[in-house]
Structures are given as C-alpha cells and as structure tokens.
C-alpha cells in the first residue's frame, strides 16, 4: 500500500495547475450515457474515481477512448448492460449517478446500494423517491436498486420533486433523468454547487432544456432525444481550496492556474480573516502567507456556504494557528476522523458530536498517521507540510481517489514529499 513521506517546514512557491473537478467529471461521464452519439469531455482529472467510473461504464458495453491529455471520448451507442455492480459501487459511491441516465434512456437500471462510508451513513432514499415520483418502479433486493418503467411506458414522466434535504448527487440524478422525461420536472430544494451548473451546461449543450440551475429551483422540460457534445469539466474548487490551505499554513506565494475564486468565496473569506492574502488574478488565484495565522471558526453548509469537503483541510490550518476555534460539521455525522490522527501530530482538538474545538498549538511534530477518507488524507498532508520532522501518511489510496497527482504538484512548489511504494 502506497504511503506519503513528508519532511515538513518548507515554504511553497511557484505555480500549480488546478485539474478538472472530480465531482463534475463523475456525473458528466454518466450524462454521456443519455445519448447514442459520442460525447467528448475535456479537462478530465487523472484520479482513481474517474478510472473506476470508466471501468463501470466500459463494463456496460460503452466504448471509451482517452488521449492522455485529459480528453475522454465516450460512445454509448452499444450499451448493453445497464448495471452498476457492488464491486465498483463499494469503492465509489458516485456510481449511483448511473441510475438516472440508465432509467431515462433504457427504461431499466440495476444499481447496487452504496452503503455507508467513513464519513457517514449516506443513504440514497431521496434518489429513489425522486425517480419514483417520475414513475419508475423500484424494488430494493439483495443490496440492489432494481428500477424499471411501468408496463407500456417508454419514458419517465416529469414531476415536481422536493427533497427532504439538499442533495448534490440526488439533484444530478434528477437533472439527467428529467432531461429525457416526458413533460416538465420542477426540482425544489435543489443543490446549487458549481458542479450542478456545470452538468446542466453540458446537458444543455446536448439539447436539454434546463432553467434555474445554480438556484434552489430548477425547471426541466424533457426532450425526446439528446445529442453528443464536447464539454470542458469545470476546475476543481476543492483541489484549489486544498492548495490554498496548504500554502496558507506552510507559508509562501503560489498561483493556482485555472482556480476559480468565485467558487470558493466562503473558504477565501476565512483565509483572509486568518491573515493570508488571497487574490483573484487573471486565470487563477494567488495566495500569499507569512507568519502565524489566526484560527477561524466555521460551520459547514451547502453551497454557497463553507464546503464540508474543505472542513478537514481548514482544520489542519486552525491546529497550528494562534487562538482557539470551533468547527461545526452539519452535512455528515462522522466527518472528524482526521482529528485523532492530527492529535498524534500534537494538535489539541476536542470533539463533541458534530462540534470540534481546536486550540492552536505553536508546532506539530511529525509521526506516522493513517488516512481514513479522501479529505482527511489531504488534511494530514497539510499537517505534515508544517510539522517538524518526518510525517508518514499511510493508506493514501483514499487520497488517490480524488486528487490528480497531488504530491507531484506539491513537490513542484517546494514541498519535500515523496511516495513510498
């Protein structure tokens, strides 16, 4: 199992190119299943979840061509097996995004239930309820959602869907399914993340009729057929946010090429309040940081609030900042798995339910720590960059799920970090 060895204490200087967003590329690969015409996605990040998604759709009978430059051509004209098996879904929950497109285009889908994961129970009841509202018949048997259209139906029917909570992949599944449904679908309480808007723009380029994406009310007029398109995956705001926190914590001056400051307002506000200088520059974001920062309290919420996917990374920064801070996690019930590992590095953090209280310490000291989930891994890398001595981050397959060459990018800006195989 690969590990990362980090020798802390180096400032970060130079430029990093931010990759396409994992959380946009995954639904967009599934959106390519909505048409028999070829779809070309550009700026697709090279990371494990994308590889898993490509395996998933290839196993369905889809032809994939990758050019090594971030471009992927997907041809699902001969898709023969509308199934997402447990073996793949268990390693990548986003496989549930196949449900909407398969049902909409083929009238049937068999998709494994994802089950819980390290950060929480993460049910998919809202996905099921939404598809049922559009007429799908769904039974859950042997760990699978087996979905089909009622007898005599050729398409899903538009519906009014109000989810009990804001769900990102739920909204994406409904957007894709509704694009090919008969009539109008109205999504209330829809997620507003930039990845939703990016998916909607792709669907519109395929011929879908969507209005209101980027707001909590999205209206979709279904069309009979979608066509192929070429679409560039939006920049990964969480990768950019991770590098912002890394530079702010370690000190230095870095430009994040392709980074979108407009997608990171909540994180950037906190970084500025902490004492870092963050500026939107032509084609990217510049971050400068010197000396000890001031700890910042925050609470995770849906976009445009502070993202849960940035909570662990900002906590690493708070751990060595001056003062104490409170971090409340409102999205996932178990997303503090990094705390015990940071404590091994010398951080002073107390957790009570969904609240963590962090007393900033002057320094962390390197140790062996274990990654427990994707963003926890990133937070331990940031902690390792500022810790004295050597930090060994174990189980980085979690990190590889969602970051495109993180250690190479960090090394290029001056970090002392290497992968141990």
Please report, as ranges, the residues that interact with ligand UD1 according to CB under 6 A.
23, 26, 93-94, 120, 122-127, 165, 167-170, 308-309, 331-332
Give the nearest distance from C-beta 36 to ligand PEP in angstroms: 28
User: Using the rule CB under 6 A, is 309 a contact of ligand PEP?
Assistant: yes
| Euclidean distance between CA atoms 51 and 403, whole angstroms | 12
Name the residue nearer to ligand UD1 (CB basis): 165 or 408.
165
Question: Please, which residues bridge with residue 147 across strands?
Answer: 109, 138
Q: Residue 122 annotated as binding?
A: yes
First to last CA, the chain: 7
The CA distances from residue 337 to 56, 309, 369, in Å, are 29, 13, 12
How far from chain centre, in Å, is Cα 111? Answer: 20
Give the nearest distance from C-beta 397 to ligand UD1 in angstroms: 17
Q: Residue 309 annotated as binding?
A: yes
| Euclidean distance between CA atoms 145 and 415, whole angstroms | 45
User: Using the rule CB under 6 A, is 94 a contact of ligand PEP?
Assistant: yes
Q: Residue 221 annotated as binding?
A: no
| Euclidean distance between CA atoms 26 and 199, whole angstroms | 10
User: Using the rule CB under 6 A, is 84 a contact of ligand PEP?
Assistant: no
Pick the closest to residue 136 from 126, 146, 121 (CA basis): 146
CA atoms within 13 A on the CB side of 164: 7
Name the residue nearer to ligand PEP (CB basis): 263 or 375.
375
Name the residue nearer to ligand UD1 (CB basis): 232 or 309.
309
Nearest residue to ligand PEP, scored by beta-carbon proximity: 309
User: Using the rule CB under 6 A, is 93 a contact of ligand PEP?
Assistant: yes
Catalytic, out of 30, 117, 229, 245: 117
Give the nearest distance from C-beta 70 to ligand UD1 in angstroms: 19
331 contacts which partner out of ligand PEP, ligand UD1, none, CB within 5 to 8 A by kind?
A: ligand UD1
SS percent in the chain: helix, strand, coil, step 5: 35, 30, 35
Length of the chain: 421
Q: Residue 23 annotated as binding?
A: yes
Name the residue nearer to ligand PEP (CB basis): 40 or 393.
393
Give the nearest distance from C-beta 23 to ligand UD1 in angstroms: 4
375 contacts which partner out of ligand PEP, ligand UD1, none, CB within 5 to 8 A by kind?
A: ligand PEP
Residue 33 is classified by DSSP as G
Q: What are phi and psi of 127, to 5 degrees?
A: -60, -45
User: Using the rule CB under 6 A, is 20 a contact of ligand PEP?
Assistant: no
**CB neighbours (10 Å) of residue 25?**
27
User: Do residues 393 and 384 lie in contact, with contact meaning Cβ atoms separated by under 8 Å?
Assistant: yes
User: Using the rule CB under 6 A, is 404 a contact of ligand PEP?
Assistant: no
Q: Residue 331 annotated as binding?
A: yes
Catalytic, 229? Answer no
Strands (E) in 149-237, as ranges, are 160-162, 184-188, 209-211, 217-221, 230-232
Name the residue nearer to ligand PEP (CB basis): 54 or 186.
54
| Euclidean distance between CA atoms 290 and 363, whole angstroms | 15
Buried b (16+ CB within 10 A) or exposed e, 298-327: bebebbeebbbbbbbbbbbbbbbbeeebeb
Pick the closest to residue 149 from 180, 188, 190, 187 (CA basis): 180
Name the residue nearer to ligand PEP (CB basis): 156 or 406.
406
One residue of 285, 383, 402, 417 binding ligand PEP per CB under 6 A:
402
208 contacts which partner out of ligand PEP, ligand UD1, none, CB within 5 to 8 A by kind?
A: none
Pick the closest to residue 143 from 100, 94, 84, 216 (CA basis): 84
User: Using the rule CB under 6 A, is 226 a contact of ligand PEP?
Assistant: no
Q: Residue 124 annotated as binding?
A: yes
Question: Taking CB under 6 A as the criterion, which residues in 345-384 touch ligand PEP?
Answer: 374-375
User: Do residues 192 and 214 lie in contact, with contact meaning Cβ atoms separated by under 8 Å?
Assistant: yes
The residues assigned a catalytic role are 117
Q: Which residues are annotated as a binding site for phosphoenolpyruvate?
A: 22-23
Q: Which residues are annotated as a binding site for UDP-N-acetyl-alpha-D-glucosamine?
A: 93, 122-126, 309, 331
Q: Which residues are annotated as a binding site?
A: 22-23, 93, 122-126, 309, 331
Residues that bind ligand PEP (CB under 6 A): 23, 93-94, 309, 374-375, 402
């Amino acid at each position: 199992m690969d590990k990362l060895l980090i020798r802390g204490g180096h400032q970060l200087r130079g430029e990093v190119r931010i990759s396409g967003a994992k959380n946009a590329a995954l639904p967009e690969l599934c959106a390519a299943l909505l048409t028999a015409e070829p779809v070309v996605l550009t700026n697709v990040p090279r990371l494990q979840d994308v590889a898993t998604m490509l395996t998933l759709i290839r196993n369905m009978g889809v032809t994939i061509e990758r050019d090594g430059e971030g471009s992927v051509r997907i041809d699902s004209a001969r898709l023969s097996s509308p199934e997402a098996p447990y073996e793949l879904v268990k390693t990548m929950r986003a496989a549930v995004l196949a449900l909407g497109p398969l049902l909409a285009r083929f009238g049937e889908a068999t998709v494994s239930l994802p089950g819980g994961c390290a950060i929480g129970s993460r049910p998919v009841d809202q996905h099921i309820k939404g598809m049922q509202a559009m007429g799908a018949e769904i039974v859950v048997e042997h760990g699978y959602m087996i979905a089909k259209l009622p007898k005599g139906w050729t398409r899903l029917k538009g519906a009014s869907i109000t989810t009990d909570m804001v769900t990102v992949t739920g909204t994406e599944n409904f957007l894709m399914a509704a694009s090919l449904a008969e009539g109008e679908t109205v999504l209330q309480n829809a997620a507003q993340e930039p990845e939703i808007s990016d998916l909607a723009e792709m669907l519109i380029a395929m011929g879908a009729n969507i209005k209101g994406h980027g707001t909590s009310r999205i209206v979709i007029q279904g069309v009979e057929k979608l066509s192929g398109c070429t679409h560039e995956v939006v920049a990964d705001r969480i990768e950019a946010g991770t590098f912002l926190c890394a530079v702010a914590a370690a000190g230095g001056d870095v430009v994040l090429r392709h980074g979108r400051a407009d997608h990171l307002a909540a994180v950037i506000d906190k970084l500025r309040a902490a004492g870092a200088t963050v500026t939107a520059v032509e084609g990217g974001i510049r971050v400068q940081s010197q000396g000890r920062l001031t700890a910042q309290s925050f609470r995770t919420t849906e976009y445009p609030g502070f993202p849960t996917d940035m909570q662990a990374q900002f906590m690493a920064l708070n751990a060595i900042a001056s003062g104490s801070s409170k971090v409340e996690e409102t999205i996932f019930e178990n997303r503090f798995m990094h705390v015990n590992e940071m404590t091994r590095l010398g951080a002073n953090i107390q957790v009570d339910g969904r609240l963590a209280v962090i007393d900033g310490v002057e320094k962390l000291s390197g140790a062996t720590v274990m990654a427990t989930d994707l963003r926890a891994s990133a937070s331990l890398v940031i902690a390792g960059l500022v810790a004295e001595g050597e930090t060994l981050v174990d189980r980085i397959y979690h990190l590889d799920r969602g970051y495109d060459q993180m250690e190479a990018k960090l090394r290029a800006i001056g970090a002392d970090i290497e992968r141990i195989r």
